Amino acid sequence: MIAVRGLITGKVQRVWFRRYVEEVAAKLNLTGYARNLPDGSVEVLLCGPADAVAAGQAEVEKGPPASRVDSADWHAAAIDPASVEGFTVS
């Protein structure tokens, strides 16, 4: 189990981006969150098995059709992935 946090920039607000990430997480059985930040970016936390998290990162970087991902900066998250329950959107 691993946890990664990503800062996603581009046209990622008001294009159903967070809901898309939520759907990706549900499909891959990942936990975490997606939340809008004041600067127009989206912060994403993905927790789960390494292969599923990698697949989730790839899907997040594609984004939904109305979005445009300019960059996705991923780092290992200093959190116990087992302590994160469910997936939240805020």
**Exposed, middle or buried, 38 (CB in 10 Å: 0-12/13-18/19+)?**
exposed
Catalytic residue numbers, as ranges:
18, 36
Q: Which DSSP state fits 80?
A: -
CA atoms within 13 A on the CB side of 82: 1
